[in-house]
Structure 1
Amino acid sequence: MSDPNNSVPILPLLDHGFAIARIEYRLTTESDLFNSVRFPAQIHDVKGAVRFLRANAENYNIDPERFAAVGSSAGGHLAALLGVSANHPQLEGNTGGNLNQPSNVQAVVDLFGPSNLLTMGGWHDQPDSPESRLIDWDLGDLKHNLENPNPPYPLIATITRDASPVYHVDPTDPPFFIAHGTADTTVPYTQSTELNDALVAANVPVDFHTVNDDRHTIMDMPLEAVFDFITTTLAPQALPIPADANLDGKVDLLDLSILASNFGVTGSIPEPASATLISLGLLATRRRRSA
Protein backbone atom coordinates (compact mmCIF):
# COMPACT_ATOMS: atom_id res chain seq x y z
CA MET A 1 0.00 0.00 0.00
CA SER A 2 3.01 2.27 -0.01
CA ASP A 3 6.06 2.82 -2.17
CA PRO A 4 9.12 1.41 -0.35
CA ASN A 5 11.41 3.48 -2.55
CA ASN A 6 10.04 6.66 -0.98
CA SER A 7 9.87 5.51 2.63
CA VAL A 8 11.75 7.88 4.91
CA PRO A 9 14.54 5.77 6.51
CA ILE A 10 14.09 6.86 10.12
CA LEU A 11 14.63 3.47 11.78
CA PRO A 12 18.14 4.44 13.01
CA LEU A 13 16.43 6.83 15.42
CA LEU A 14 15.20 3.79 17.35
CA ASP A 15 18.72 3.59 18.76
CA HIS A 16 18.41 7.13 20.13
CA GLY A 17 15.35 6.74 22.32
CA PHE A 18 12.62 7.33 19.76
CA ALA A 19 9.55 5.22 19.12
CA ILE A 20 8.24 4.96 15.55
CA ALA A 21 4.64 4.33 14.55
CA ARG A 22 3.89 3.70 10.90
CA ILE A 23 0.39 4.88 10.06
CA GLU A 24 -1.68 3.55 7.18
CA TYR A 25 -4.66 5.49 5.93
CA ARG A 26 -7.41 4.99 3.41
CA LEU A 27 -6.29 5.48 -0.19
CA THR A 28 -8.29 6.96 -3.03
CA THR A 29 -7.50 3.83 -5.04
CA GLU A 30 -9.71 1.92 -2.60
CA SER A 31 -12.78 3.78 -3.86
CA ASP A 32 -15.40 1.88 -5.82
CA LEU A 33 -18.96 2.39 -7.03
CA PHE A 34 -20.28 1.92 -3.51
CA ASN A 35 -17.57 3.58 -1.42
CA SER A 36 -15.84 6.88 -2.15
CA VAL A 37 -12.65 7.44 -0.15
CA ARG A 38 -12.74 11.20 -0.57
CA PHE A 39 -10.93 13.71 1.57
CA PRO A 40 -11.03 14.23 4.57
CA ALA A 41 -10.97 10.45 5.19
CA GLN A 42 -7.16 10.42 5.02
CA ILE A 43 -6.49 13.12 7.62
CA HIS A 44 -9.24 11.68 9.83
CA ASP A 45 -7.37 8.35 9.83
CA VAL A 46 -4.07 10.02 10.69
CA LYS A 47 -5.53 12.11 13.49
CA GLY A 48 -7.27 9.05 14.89
CA ALA A 49 -3.92 7.26 15.04
CA VAL A 50 -2.29 10.18 16.87
CA ARG A 51 -5.10 10.25 19.42
CA PHE A 52 -4.75 6.48 19.89
CA LEU A 53 -1.03 6.80 20.57
CA ARG A 54 -1.60 9.56 23.10
CA ALA A 55 -4.37 7.61 24.82
CA ASN A 56 -1.97 4.65 25.14
CA ALA A 57 1.21 6.60 25.85
CA GLU A 58 1.71 4.98 29.24
CA ASN A 59 1.30 1.48 27.79
CA TYR A 60 3.88 2.18 25.08
CA ASN A 61 6.17 4.21 27.36
CA ILE A 62 6.15 7.25 25.08
CA ASP A 63 6.02 10.94 25.86
CA PRO A 64 2.63 12.29 24.69
CA GLU A 65 4.05 15.82 24.48
CA ARG A 66 6.76 15.04 21.92
CA PHE A 67 5.36 13.78 18.63
CA ALA A 68 6.79 14.37 15.16
CA ALA A 69 5.07 13.60 11.86
CA VAL A 70 7.39 12.43 9.07
CA GLY A 71 6.42 11.71 5.49
CA SER A 72 7.37 11.96 1.84
CA SER A 73 5.23 12.72 -1.20
CA ALA A 74 1.59 11.96 -0.27
CA GLY A 75 2.85 11.16 3.22
CA GLY A 76 4.58 14.54 3.33
CA HIS A 77 1.30 16.18 2.37
CA LEU A 78 -0.49 14.50 5.28
CA ALA A 79 2.37 15.18 7.70
CA ALA A 80 2.18 18.87 6.81
CA LEU A 81 -1.60 18.91 7.04
CA LEU A 82 -1.45 17.21 10.43
CA GLY A 83 1.00 19.85 11.60
CA VAL A 84 -1.08 22.86 10.57
CA SER A 85 -4.59 21.65 11.39
CA ALA A 86 -4.60 21.47 15.20
CA ASN A 87 -6.95 24.46 15.35
CA HIS A 88 -9.28 23.27 12.60
CA PRO A 89 -12.00 21.04 14.09
CA GLN A 90 -13.55 20.29 10.69
CA LEU A 91 -10.51 18.12 9.96
CA GLU A 92 -10.51 16.21 13.26
CA GLY A 93 -13.08 13.50 12.55
CA ASN A 94 -13.85 10.71 15.02
CA THR A 95 -11.92 7.80 13.52
CA GLY A 96 -10.78 5.46 16.27
CA GLY A 97 -12.37 7.47 19.06
CA ASN A 98 -10.24 8.86 21.93
CA LEU A 99 -11.75 12.27 21.25
CA ASN A 100 -10.55 13.52 24.62
CA GLN A 101 -6.99 13.41 23.26
CA PRO A 102 -5.42 16.12 21.06
CA SER A 103 -4.10 15.24 17.61
CA ASN A 104 -1.43 17.92 17.35
CA VAL A 105 2.27 17.21 16.81
CA GLN A 106 5.37 19.09 17.92
CA ALA A 107 7.41 18.80 14.72
CA VAL A 108 6.86 18.05 11.03
CA VAL A 109 9.15 16.63 8.35
CA ASP A 110 7.68 17.11 4.87
CA LEU A 111 9.73 15.74 1.99
CA PHE A 112 8.44 16.83 -1.44
CA GLY A 113 4.78 16.74 -0.46
CA PRO A 114 1.94 18.71 -2.11
CA SER A 115 0.84 21.80 -0.21
CA ASN A 116 -1.78 23.46 -2.44
CA LEU A 117 -3.92 21.36 -4.76
CA LEU A 118 -5.08 24.46 -6.62
CA THR A 119 -1.59 25.43 -7.80
CA MET A 120 -0.08 22.07 -8.77
CA GLY A 121 -1.14 22.50 -12.39
CA GLY A 122 -0.31 20.39 -15.43
CA TRP A 123 -1.49 16.78 -15.40
CA HIS A 124 -2.62 17.15 -11.80
CA ASP A 125 -5.67 19.00 -13.16
CA GLN A 126 -6.76 16.00 -15.22
CA PRO A 127 -9.96 14.20 -14.11
CA ASP A 128 -8.06 10.96 -13.36
CA SER A 129 -5.21 12.55 -11.39
CA PRO A 130 -4.56 11.58 -7.76
CA GLU A 131 -5.66 15.06 -6.71
CA SER A 132 -8.96 14.79 -8.59
CA ARG A 133 -9.54 11.40 -7.00
CA LEU A 134 -8.76 12.87 -3.60
CA ILE A 135 -11.53 15.48 -3.86
CA ASP A 136 -13.74 13.17 -5.96
CA TRP A 137 -14.08 15.83 -8.64
CA ASP A 138 -12.29 17.01 -11.77
CA LEU A 139 -9.74 19.46 -10.32
CA GLY A 140 -9.36 21.25 -13.64
CA ASP A 141 -13.11 21.80 -13.83
CA LEU A 142 -13.14 23.09 -10.27
CA LYS A 143 -10.39 25.62 -11.01
CA HIS A 144 -12.53 27.02 -13.80
CA ASN A 145 -15.48 27.30 -11.42
CA LEU A 146 -13.97 28.51 -8.16
CA GLU A 147 -16.27 31.54 -8.13
CA ASN A 148 -19.31 29.61 -9.33
CA PRO A 149 -21.98 29.87 -6.59
CA ASN A 150 -23.97 26.93 -7.92
CA PRO A 151 -23.71 23.50 -6.26
CA PRO A 152 -21.56 21.52 -5.94
CA TYR A 153 -18.73 23.98 -6.61
CA PRO A 154 -18.70 25.85 -3.26
CA LEU A 155 -18.54 22.55 -1.36
CA ILE A 156 -15.84 21.07 -3.61
CA ALA A 157 -13.80 24.28 -3.35
CA THR A 158 -13.98 24.10 0.45
CA ILE A 159 -12.89 20.44 0.43
CA THR A 160 -9.96 21.28 -1.86
CA ARG A 161 -8.75 24.14 0.33
CA ASP A 162 -9.21 22.02 3.44
CA ALA A 163 -6.95 19.41 1.82
CA SER A 164 -4.24 22.03 1.15
CA PRO A 165 -1.89 22.76 4.08
CA VAL A 166 -1.10 26.32 2.96
CA TYR A 167 -4.65 27.41 3.80
CA HIS A 168 -4.30 26.37 7.45
CA VAL A 169 -0.94 27.87 8.44
CA ASP A 170 -0.96 30.04 11.56
CA PRO A 171 1.60 31.18 14.16
CA THR A 172 0.77 28.32 16.55
CA ASP A 173 2.03 25.65 14.14
CA PRO A 174 5.03 23.49 15.14
CA PRO A 175 8.50 23.74 13.57
CA PHE A 176 8.78 22.36 10.03
CA PHE A 177 11.54 20.68 8.05
CA ILE A 178 10.92 20.79 4.29
CA ALA A 179 13.08 19.39 1.50
CA HIS A 180 12.33 19.23 -2.22
CA GLY A 181 14.23 18.61 -5.44
CA THR A 182 14.20 21.29 -8.12
CA ALA A 183 13.81 18.70 -10.89
CA ASP A 184 10.75 17.02 -9.36
CA THR A 185 8.20 16.48 -12.13
CA THR A 186 5.74 14.57 -9.95
CA VAL A 187 5.14 17.17 -7.24
CA PRO A 188 6.38 20.59 -8.43
CA TYR A 189 9.17 22.17 -6.39
CA THR A 190 6.99 25.27 -6.07
CA GLN A 191 4.67 23.33 -3.77
CA SER A 192 7.35 23.40 -1.08
CA THR A 193 8.35 27.00 -1.72
CA GLU A 194 4.70 28.00 -1.35
CA LEU A 195 4.42 26.21 1.99
CA ASN A 196 7.74 27.61 3.16
CA ASP A 197 6.63 31.15 2.31
CA ALA A 198 3.36 30.70 4.22
CA LEU A 199 5.19 29.38 7.29
CA VAL A 200 7.75 32.19 7.21
CA ALA A 201 4.96 34.78 6.89
CA ALA A 202 3.31 33.29 9.99
CA ASN A 203 6.63 33.28 11.92
CA VAL A 204 6.62 29.49 12.17
CA PRO A 205 10.15 28.03 12.46
CA VAL A 206 11.01 26.29 9.19
CA ASP A 207 14.17 24.62 7.92
CA PHE A 208 13.86 24.56 4.12
CA HIS A 209 16.31 22.54 2.01
CA THR A 210 16.51 22.82 -1.76
CA VAL A 211 18.03 19.75 -3.42
CA ASN A 212 19.35 20.84 -6.81
CA ASP A 213 18.39 18.69 -9.80
CA ASP A 214 16.82 16.02 -7.61
CA ARG A 215 13.66 14.29 -8.74
CA HIS A 216 10.83 12.64 -6.81
CA THR A 217 12.94 10.29 -4.72
CA ILE A 218 14.18 9.91 -1.18
CA MET A 219 17.68 8.92 -2.28
CA ASP A 220 19.26 12.39 -2.30
CA MET A 221 17.27 13.97 0.50
CA PRO A 222 19.36 15.52 3.34
CA LEU A 223 18.63 12.74 5.82
CA GLU A 224 21.31 13.75 8.32
CA ALA A 225 19.69 17.17 8.50
CA VAL A 226 16.33 15.44 9.04
CA PHE A 227 17.76 13.50 11.99
CA ASP A 228 19.33 16.64 13.45
CA PHE A 229 16.04 18.52 13.13
CA ILE A 230 14.06 15.77 14.85
CA THR A 231 16.47 15.25 17.72
CA THR A 232 16.94 18.98 18.29
CA THR A 233 13.27 19.92 18.04
CA LEU A 234 12.05 17.10 20.26
CA ALA A 235 14.92 17.25 22.74
CA PRO A 236 13.75 17.65 26.33
CA GLN A 237 14.71 20.63 28.42
CA ALA A 238 17.53 19.25 30.53
CA LEU A 239 17.80 20.17 34.18
CA PRO A 240 20.92 22.21 34.95
CA ILE A 241 23.79 20.33 36.56
CA PRO A 242 24.25 20.70 39.48
CA ALA A 243 20.55 20.99 40.26
CA ASP A 244 18.11 20.87 43.08
CA ALA A 245 15.98 18.18 41.44
CA ASN A 246 13.62 17.71 44.39
CA LEU A 247 13.42 21.45 45.15
CA ASP A 248 14.41 21.02 48.79
CA GLY A 249 16.80 23.96 48.71
CA LYS A 250 20.02 21.95 48.45
CA VAL A 251 21.91 19.73 46.01
CA ASP A 252 22.79 16.35 47.48
CA LEU A 253 22.93 12.62 46.71
CA LEU A 254 19.15 12.44 46.57
CA ASP A 255 19.17 14.96 43.72
CA LEU A 256 21.76 12.88 41.87
CA SER A 257 19.63 9.78 42.38
CA ILE A 258 16.60 11.56 40.93
CA LEU A 259 18.59 12.77 37.95
CA ALA A 260 19.99 9.30 37.34
CA SER A 261 16.54 7.71 37.44
CA ASN A 262 15.14 10.33 35.07
CA PHE A 263 17.92 10.40 32.54
CA GLY A 264 19.42 6.94 32.70
CA VAL A 265 23.11 6.24 32.27
CA THR A 266 23.54 8.09 28.98
CA GLY A 267 21.63 11.19 30.05
CA SER A 268 20.11 11.67 26.61
CA ILE A 269 16.33 11.41 26.91
CA PRO A 270 14.36 11.30 30.17
CA GLU A 271 11.65 8.78 30.95
CA PRO A 272 9.24 8.13 29.37
CA ALA A 273 12.13 7.10 27.19
CA SER A 274 10.66 7.75 23.78
CA ALA A 275 9.50 10.59 21.67
CA THR A 276 7.25 9.37 18.88
CA LEU A 277 7.85 9.63 15.15
CA ILE A 278 4.73 9.16 13.09
CA SER A 279 5.74 7.73 9.73
CA LEU A 280 3.12 8.68 7.18
CA GLY A 281 1.90 7.65 3.83
CA LEU A 282 4.87 7.32 1.58
CA LEU A 283 2.66 6.64 -1.41
CA ALA A 284 4.27 8.31 -4.40
CA THR A 285 1.90 10.40 -6.49
CA ARG A 286 2.00 9.01 -9.99
CA ARG A 287 0.30 9.95 -13.17
CA ARG A 288 -2.10 7.35 -14.44
CA ARG A 289 -0.87 6.16 -17.82
CA SER A 290 -3.18 5.15 -20.60
CA ALA A 291 -2.82 1.71 -22.09
Structure 2
Amino acid sequence: MPARRQRCVIKIMKIIKDIEFIPGGGERNRLDIYIPDGIETPAATILRIHGGAWRAYSKNDLHVAHRLIDHGFIFVSTNYRYSSQARFPAQLQDCKAAVRWMRANSAEYGIDPERIGVCGDSAGAHLACLLGVTGNTRHFDVGLNLDQRSDVQAVGAWYPPTDFLIWGKHFIDCGFSKETAASVFECIPAFLGRPIDVATENAKLASPMSYVHSGSAPFFLIHGKKDPVVPYLQSVVFADALEKAGVEAKMILIDDAVHGGPQFDADGNFMPLVEFFKRSLR
Protein backbone atom coordinates (compact mmCIF):
# COMPACT_ATOMS: atom_id res chain seq x y z
CA MET A 1 0.00 0.00 0.00
CA PRO A 2 2.08 2.93 -1.24
CA ALA A 3 1.90 6.19 0.62
CA ARG A 4 1.39 9.47 -1.19
CA ARG A 5 4.74 11.24 -1.52
CA GLN A 6 4.90 14.97 -2.11
CA ARG A 7 7.39 17.78 -1.62
CA CYS A 8 6.40 20.44 0.87
CA VAL A 9 7.87 23.57 2.42
CA ILE A 10 7.47 23.73 6.18
CA LYS A 11 7.57 27.03 8.05
CA ILE A 12 8.48 26.19 11.62
CA MET A 13 10.39 27.58 14.56
CA LYS A 14 12.05 24.42 15.74
CA ILE A 15 12.76 20.92 14.45
CA ILE A 16 14.06 18.14 16.66
CA LYS A 17 15.11 15.17 14.55
CA ASP A 18 15.78 11.51 15.22
CA ILE A 19 14.69 11.29 18.84
CA GLU A 20 14.87 7.72 20.11
CA PHE A 21 11.54 7.03 21.77
CA ILE A 22 12.83 3.50 22.43
CA PRO A 23 16.53 3.84 23.34
CA GLY A 24 18.63 1.38 21.39
CA GLY A 25 15.74 0.62 19.03
CA GLY A 26 17.57 1.99 16.01
CA GLU A 27 16.28 4.01 13.07
CA ARG A 28 12.82 2.43 13.14
CA ASN A 29 12.19 3.63 16.69
CA ARG A 30 12.88 7.30 16.16
CA LEU A 31 10.61 10.31 15.71
CA ASP A 32 10.85 13.95 14.66
CA ILE A 33 9.08 16.93 16.23
CA TYR A 34 8.07 20.08 14.33
CA ILE A 35 7.06 23.04 16.51
CA PRO A 36 5.37 25.98 14.75
CA ASP A 37 6.37 29.54 15.45
CA GLY A 38 4.36 31.67 17.83
CA ILE A 39 2.06 29.08 19.40
CA GLU A 40 0.97 29.00 23.01
CA THR A 41 2.04 25.88 24.85
CA PRO A 42 1.08 23.33 25.91
CA ALA A 43 -0.36 22.85 22.43
CA ALA A 44 -2.49 20.28 20.67
CA THR A 45 -0.21 17.80 18.92
CA ILE A 46 -0.74 15.45 15.99
CA LEU A 47 1.25 12.27 15.56
CA ARG A 48 1.74 11.24 11.93
CA ILE A 49 2.18 7.53 11.06
CA HIS A 50 3.51 6.86 7.56
CA GLY A 51 2.11 4.32 5.12
CA GLY A 52 3.95 1.83 2.94
CA ALA A 53 2.41 -1.63 3.44
CA TRP A 54 4.05 -1.87 6.89
CA ARG A 55 7.37 -2.42 5.11
CA ALA A 56 8.43 0.82 3.40
CA TYR A 57 8.74 4.62 3.65
CA SER A 58 9.54 6.60 6.76
CA LYS A 59 8.86 9.53 9.05
CA ASN A 60 10.38 11.76 6.37
CA ASP A 61 7.18 11.55 4.29
CA LEU A 62 5.70 14.91 5.29
CA HIS A 63 3.02 15.69 2.76
CA VAL A 64 0.50 16.91 5.37
CA ALA A 65 2.94 18.43 7.85
CA HIS A 66 2.97 22.02 6.62
CA ARG A 67 -0.81 22.30 6.51
CA LEU A 68 -1.24 21.11 10.08
CA ILE A 69 1.68 23.15 11.38
CA ASP A 70 0.24 26.25 9.70
CA HIS A 71 -2.90 25.76 11.80
CA GLY A 72 -0.98 25.75 15.07
CA PHE A 73 -0.49 22.07 15.76
CA ILE A 74 2.77 20.60 16.97
CA PHE A 75 3.55 17.84 14.48
CA VAL A 76 5.30 14.59 15.38
CA SER A 77 6.30 12.10 12.68
CA THR A 78 7.29 8.61 13.76
CA ASN A 79 8.87 5.49 12.37
CA TYR A 80 7.91 1.98 13.44
CA ARG A 81 9.41 -1.44 12.83
CA TYR A 82 8.89 -2.82 9.34
CA SER A 83 7.15 -6.16 8.92
CA SER A 84 10.49 -7.50 7.65
CA GLN A 85 11.85 -6.88 11.15
CA ALA A 86 8.91 -8.03 13.27
CA ARG A 87 5.34 -9.04 12.63
CA PHE A 88 2.22 -7.53 14.17
CA PRO A 89 1.65 -6.35 16.91
CA ALA A 90 5.19 -4.90 16.91
CA GLN A 91 4.11 -1.96 14.74
CA LEU A 92 1.25 -1.03 17.08
CA GLN A 93 3.47 -1.50 20.12
CA ASP A 94 5.94 0.97 18.61
CA CYS A 95 3.24 3.55 17.89
CA LYS A 96 1.90 3.24 21.42
CA ALA A 97 5.43 3.64 22.74
CA ALA A 98 5.72 6.86 20.72
CA VAL A 99 2.50 8.21 22.28
CA ARG A 100 3.68 7.31 25.78
CA TRP A 101 7.01 9.00 25.08
CA MET A 102 5.16 12.13 23.94
CA ARG A 103 3.27 12.25 27.23
CA ALA A 104 6.34 11.50 29.34
CA ASN A 105 8.24 14.35 27.64
CA SER A 106 5.32 16.70 27.08
CA ALA A 107 6.61 19.50 29.31
CA GLU A 108 9.95 19.68 27.48
CA TYR A 109 8.39 20.01 24.03
CA GLY A 110 5.22 21.96 24.80
CA ILE A 111 2.89 19.05 24.06
CA ASP A 112 -0.50 19.02 25.76
CA PRO A 113 -0.78 15.41 26.99
CA GLU A 114 -4.58 15.63 26.96
CA ARG A 115 -4.78 16.84 23.35
CA ILE A 116 -3.01 14.29 21.17
CA GLY A 117 -4.39 13.38 17.77
CA VAL A 118 -3.07 10.92 15.22
CA CYS A 119 -3.22 10.73 11.45
CA GLY A 120 -1.96 8.36 8.80
CA ASP A 121 -2.56 6.98 5.34
CA SER A 122 -2.94 3.37 4.21
CA ALA A 123 -0.87 1.15 6.54
CA GLY A 124 -0.26 4.21 8.71
CA ALA A 125 -4.01 4.85 8.80
CA HIS A 126 -4.52 1.26 9.95
CA LEU A 127 -2.17 1.85 12.89
CA ALA A 128 -3.78 5.23 13.60
CA CYS A 129 -7.19 3.56 13.73
CA LEU A 130 -5.86 0.97 16.15
CA LEU A 131 -4.58 3.73 18.43
CA GLY A 132 -8.04 5.28 18.34
CA VAL A 133 -9.89 2.15 19.46
CA THR A 134 -7.44 0.52 21.90
CA GLY A 135 -7.16 3.29 24.45
CA ASN A 136 -9.18 1.21 26.91
CA THR A 137 -6.68 -1.67 27.00
CA ARG A 138 -3.03 -1.94 28.01
CA HIS A 139 -2.59 -5.20 26.12
CA PHE A 140 -0.33 -3.61 23.50
CA ASP A 141 1.62 -1.40 25.90
CA VAL A 142 5.09 -2.84 26.39
CA GLY A 143 8.50 -1.36 27.14
CA LEU A 144 9.18 2.08 28.58
CA ASN A 145 7.04 4.86 30.08
CA LEU A 146 4.35 2.43 31.17
CA ASP A 147 3.17 4.98 33.72
CA GLN A 148 1.87 6.99 30.74
CA ARG A 149 -1.28 6.40 28.68
CA SER A 150 -1.22 5.53 24.97
CA ASP A 151 -4.75 6.68 24.08
CA VAL A 152 -5.38 9.49 21.59
CA GLN A 153 -8.14 12.09 21.44
CA ALA A 154 -8.81 12.20 17.68
CA VAL A 155 -8.00 10.15 14.57
CA GLY A 156 -7.70 11.22 10.94
CA ALA A 157 -7.29 8.31 8.53
CA TRP A 158 -6.85 8.21 4.77
CA TYR A 159 -7.98 4.92 3.18
CA PRO A 160 -7.38 2.63 6.18
CA PRO A 161 -7.63 -1.17 6.27
CA THR A 162 -10.05 -1.70 9.16
CA ASP A 163 -11.20 -5.33 8.98
CA PHE A 164 -8.82 -7.97 7.64
CA LEU A 165 -11.50 -10.65 7.93
CA ILE A 166 -13.66 -9.09 5.19
CA TRP A 167 -11.03 -7.20 3.20
CA GLY A 168 -11.07 -9.84 0.47
CA LYS A 169 -14.87 -9.75 0.25
CA HIS A 170 -14.77 -5.99 -0.14
CA PHE A 171 -12.60 -6.31 -3.24
CA ILE A 172 -15.31 -8.39 -4.89
CA ASP A 173 -18.13 -6.18 -3.60
CA CYS A 174 -16.39 -3.14 -5.12
CA GLY A 175 -15.97 -4.82 -8.49
CA PHE A 176 -12.31 -5.81 -8.28
CA SER A 177 -10.98 -9.25 -9.21
CA LYS A 178 -9.58 -11.95 -6.96
CA GLU A 179 -6.28 -11.42 -8.77
CA THR A 180 -6.26 -7.78 -7.69
CA ALA A 181 -6.85 -8.83 -4.10
CA ALA A 182 -4.11 -11.45 -4.30
CA SER A 183 -1.57 -8.90 -5.53
CA VAL A 184 -2.40 -6.57 -2.63
CA PHE A 185 -2.33 -9.37 -0.06
CA GLU A 186 1.23 -10.28 -1.06
CA CYS A 187 2.40 -8.04 1.79
CA ILE A 188 0.25 -9.73 4.44
CA PRO A 189 2.24 -12.90 5.36
CA ALA A 190 5.19 -10.84 6.59
CA PHE A 191 2.85 -8.59 8.58
CA LEU A 192 0.50 -11.18 10.11
CA GLY A 193 2.85 -14.16 9.98
CA ARG A 194 0.59 -16.14 7.64
CA PRO A 195 -1.42 -15.55 4.44
CA ILE A 196 -4.59 -13.59 5.10
CA ASP A 197 -6.94 -16.46 4.21
CA VAL A 198 -5.52 -18.70 6.96
CA ALA A 199 -4.48 -16.09 9.51
CA THR A 200 -7.92 -15.76 11.07
CA GLU A 201 -6.86 -15.13 14.66
CA ASN A 202 -4.05 -12.78 13.71
CA ALA A 203 -6.32 -11.02 11.22
CA LYS A 204 -8.88 -10.40 13.96
CA LEU A 205 -6.17 -9.23 16.36
CA ALA A 206 -4.88 -6.73 13.80
CA SER A 207 -8.30 -5.37 12.77
CA PRO A 208 -9.40 -2.03 14.25
CA MET A 209 -12.97 -3.28 13.86
CA SER A 210 -12.32 -5.80 16.64
CA TYR A 211 -11.82 -3.08 19.26
CA VAL A 212 -14.56 -0.54 18.57
CA HIS A 213 -16.20 0.54 21.82
CA SER A 214 -18.14 3.47 23.18
CA GLY A 215 -15.00 5.15 24.51
CA SER A 216 -13.16 5.13 21.19
CA ALA A 217 -11.71 8.41 19.94
CA PRO A 218 -13.65 10.46 17.38
CA PHE A 219 -12.72 9.62 13.79
CA PHE A 220 -12.46 11.37 10.44
CA LEU A 221 -12.12 8.93 7.52
CA ILE A 222 -11.30 9.86 3.91
CA HIS A 223 -11.42 7.25 1.14
CA GLY A 224 -11.51 7.05 -2.64
CA LYS A 225 -14.39 5.05 -4.12
CA LYS A 226 -12.11 3.66 -6.83
CA ASP A 227 -9.35 2.56 -4.46
CA PRO A 228 -7.92 -0.72 -5.85
CA VAL A 229 -5.75 -1.39 -2.79
CA VAL A 230 -8.02 -0.81 0.20
CA PRO A 231 -11.66 -0.86 -1.01
CA TYR A 232 -13.65 2.07 0.32
CA LEU A 233 -16.10 -0.27 2.05
CA GLN A 234 -13.40 -0.76 4.69
CA SER A 235 -14.08 2.81 5.81
CA VAL A 236 -17.84 2.52 5.38
CA VAL A 237 -18.27 -0.50 7.65
CA PHE A 238 -15.86 0.94 10.21
CA ALA A 239 -17.69 4.28 10.36
CA ASP A 240 -20.96 2.40 10.75
CA ALA A 241 -19.58 0.36 13.65
CA LEU A 242 -18.25 3.48 15.37
CA GLU A 243 -21.57 5.28 15.03
CA LYS A 244 -23.47 2.27 16.38
CA ALA A 245 -21.16 2.41 19.42
CA GLY A 246 -22.03 6.07 19.89
CA VAL A 247 -18.68 7.37 18.62
CA GLU A 248 -18.32 10.32 16.25
CA ALA A 249 -17.30 9.14 12.78
CA LYS A 250 -17.09 11.68 9.99
CA MET A 251 -16.36 10.38 6.49
CA ILE A 252 -15.60 11.79 3.06
CA LEU A 253 -15.86 9.46 0.05
CA ILE A 254 -14.25 10.82 -3.12
CA ASP A 255 -15.91 9.44 -6.26
CA ASP A 256 -12.95 9.36 -8.65
CA ALA A 257 -10.08 8.91 -6.20
CA VAL A 258 -7.89 5.83 -5.95
CA HIS A 259 -5.24 4.98 -3.32
CA GLY A 260 -3.82 8.46 -2.82
CA GLY A 261 -3.62 11.34 -5.25
CA PRO A 262 -4.18 15.10 -5.44
CA GLN A 263 -7.90 14.88 -4.66
CA PHE A 264 -7.07 14.15 -1.03
CA ASP A 265 -5.10 17.39 -0.72
CA ALA A 266 -7.82 19.59 -2.24
CA ASP A 267 -9.14 22.13 0.26
CA GLY A 268 -12.65 20.70 0.09
CA ASN A 269 -11.40 17.33 1.29
CA PHE A 270 -8.52 18.37 3.54
CA MET A 271 -9.84 21.40 5.40
CA PRO A 272 -12.75 19.50 6.99
CA LEU A 273 -10.11 17.25 8.56
CA VAL A 274 -8.23 20.28 9.89
CA GLU A 275 -11.45 21.65 11.39
CA PHE A 276 -12.18 18.23 12.88
CA PHE A 277 -8.80 18.22 14.64
CA LYS A 278 -9.28 21.80 15.82
CA ARG A 279 -12.64 20.95 17.33
CA SER A 280 -11.68 17.57 18.78
CA LEU A 281 -8.41 18.82 20.30
CA ARG A 282 -9.54 22.22 21.52
Q: State yes or no: 1:10 paired with 2:59.
A: no
CA distance in 1, matches of 2:222, 2:184: 28
Q: 1:127 to 1:203 in 2, by over 3 A?
A: closer
> 1:99 Cα shift?
0.4
Could you tell me the TM-score, scaled by structure 2's length? 0.71
Instruction: Give the conservation status (yes or no) of the 8 Å contact 1:40–1:91.
Output: yes
> 1:88 Cα shift?
2.7
Give CA-to-partner distance per residue, 1:237-268, whole Å, 9 cap, x none.
Answer: xxxxxxxxxxxxxxxxxxxxxxxxxxxxxxxx
Instruction: Give the conservation status (yes or no) of the 8 Å contact 1:124–1:132.
Output: no
Which runs of 5 or more structure 2 residues have no equivalent in the other structure? 7-50, 52-60, 169-177
Q: State yes or no: 1:68 paired with 2:117.
A: yes
Instruction: Give the conservation status (yes or no) of the 8 Å contact 2:134–2:211.
Output: yes
Q: 1:93 to 1:160 in 2, by over 3 A?
A: farther
Q: 1:128 to 1:75 in 2, by over 3 A?
A: closer
CA distance in 2, matches of 1:93, 1:46: 11
Q: State yes or no: 1:132 paired with 2:181.
A: no
- Tell me how large the CA RMSD over aligned residues is: 2.0
Give CA-to-partner distance per residue, 1:132-175, whole Å, 9 cap, x none.
Answer: 321110112x1xxxxxxxxxxxxx53322111000100000111
Residue identity (%): 34
Which runs of 5 or more structure 1 residues have no equivalent in the other structure? 32-36, 143-155, 236-291
Q: State yes or no: 1:165 paired with 2:208.
A: yes
Give CA-to-partner distance per residue, 1:65-90, whole Å, 9 cap, x none.
Answer: 00001001111111101100112322
Instruction: Give the conservation status (yes or no) of the 8 Å contact 1:126–1:132.
Output: no
The residue that corresponds to 1:195 in the other structure is: 238
Q: 1:79 to 1:90 in 2, by over 3 A?
A: same
CA distance in 1, matches of 2:220, 2:184: 32
The residue that corresponds to 2:151 in the other structure is: 104
Q: Report which of the two structures shows the higher radius of gyration computed on alpha carbons.
A: 1
CA distance in 2, matches of 1:197, 1:128: 25
SS of residue paired to 1:118: coil
Instruction: Give the conservation status (yes or no) of the 8 Å contact 1:43–1:91.
Output: yes
Could you tell me the TM-score, scaled by structure 1's length? 0.69
Give CA-to-partner distance per residue, 1:204-234, whole Å, 9 cap, x none.
Answer: 0111111112100142121111111111111
Give the ranges of 4+ consecutive aligned residues of structure 1 lying more than 3 Å apart after TM superposition: 5-8, 122-128
The residue that corresponds to 1:77 in the other structure is: 126
CA distance in 2, matches of 1:124, 1:92: 32
SS of residue paired to 2:165: helix
Matches within 5 A, 1:1-291: 4-5=5-6, 8-28=63-83, 30-31=84-85, 37-94=86-143, 97-121=144-168, 122=178, 123-124=180-181, 129-140=186-197, 142=198, 156-221=199-264, 222-235=269-282
Structure with the greater relative contact order (CA < 8 A, sep ≥ 6): 1 or 2?
A: 1
Instruction: Give the conservation status (yes or no) of the 8 Å contact 2:133–2:211.
Output: yes
Instruction: Give the conservation status (yes or no) of the 8 Å contact 2:4–2:260.
Output: no
Q: 1:128 to 1:181 in 2, by over 3 A?
A: closer
Aligned length: 213
